[in-house]
Structure 1
Amino acid sequence: MSYLAPGSPENVALAQHVNGRLRAESRIVAARAFLFRAAGAGLFAALLGIGVGAAAYGYAYMNQFDSAAERIAAAMQTALSDVTLKTKGEVTLTDNTLRVEGLPKGGNGVPTPTQAQLGQDATPASKAPVNTTFTVFKQVPYLDGQIVSGWNFRANEDKPFQQYCYFSRRSNEPKGQVEIKIDLAMDGKVLPQPQKSDVNLAILATNCVWHDGKSL
């Protein structure tokens, strides 16, 4: 390269040398600037990747607990679908015996209702026929509650026309005593198992007491 500049050849050579030096330094500055820009872009990309990864991990972590909570809620909802809540029962349960205050006992110690208690002459205002039935309960302690079997009899019949079994437990709540009831079986057959339920009806039903003595 040549420059048409006035002066001696030495001045021309010096000017060319200075100009080359300036261009070299300009390239060095440009290279440093590019290096800094590249480093900044790389650091930004790394931080962006870390941020996206942390966000994805946090989302997955929270979603995992939400799924677990949903599964537990669904299981409890299914288990309580057949539950009957009652406040403050009117009978007193002592061990495995249902106590009805004031009920006379027969010669073998088994409670026997009197004719007055059965109210054979009681009729509704409509004068419609009245069917009299009674229920015998059998209780078997289980965990913090009990398995209750009920036998429904018609008057003057020795064989129950219906049998049922359920799990019952009581708990004290701020609003009073609450009874939780889960139906287990009917007439010697286990009820269908609710989906997504932690309560195994078949296992609990092995403690049911049936009138014919047969087991499930």
Structure 2
Amino acid sequence: MSYHAPGTPENVALAQHVNGRLRAEARISNARAFLFRAIGLGAFLGLAGAGLGAAFYGYATMNEVGNASDKLAKALTQALETTTLKTSGEVRLTDNTLKIEGGVPAAKGRPDVSALTGNQGKTEAPASAAAAVRTSFTVFKTVPYLDGSIVTGWNFKGDEQKPEKQYCYVTRPQTFGDGATSNQTTVAIDGELLPQPARSEVNFSVIARSCVWFDPSKL
């Protein structure tokens, strides 16, 4: 084994070699650290970009839905403004007695249908070609109920002495938009109570007590 004295060419060469090795390892460590920092920064920027993109996409989607809702509301408003609601109904006699002017004879509280309509339906065509005409009418009996009324209808056919059919219903006013109409619910037919619907606001058994059914003894 040989020992070299300080400052000898061999020691100088060894020191330079060790120093170069340490500098190379330091540069490698710095390069690795820079690589990790670059990866971390790239990941952060990527996630931030994805978050901003999702935020802008969500905002754009909500804005589009809001615009669509506004357009739909405007379209519905215009449709309702240009729509005309039409209602139809029956002519009702609210008095207890059916009266006809002109001196037409009446039998048992109701008009003589044969005398009233005797000349109706006649034409100049032969009897075989003329269509048969059948006369019918309805008598209404009305009882006030809350803000509406309970109505009983007697349907007479021709000159029959009693109604062919009877029905009882309750009617109440109902507002729809700027117009007003009526809500009609039938509770009984020919004196028989109809089944009570599960979600009906009308109590059929209570309403039926005010129905005025046909009674020949009271005419």
TM-score, normalised to structure 2, is 0.48
TM-score, normalised to structure 1, is 0.49
Q: Which has the larger radius of gyration?
A: 2
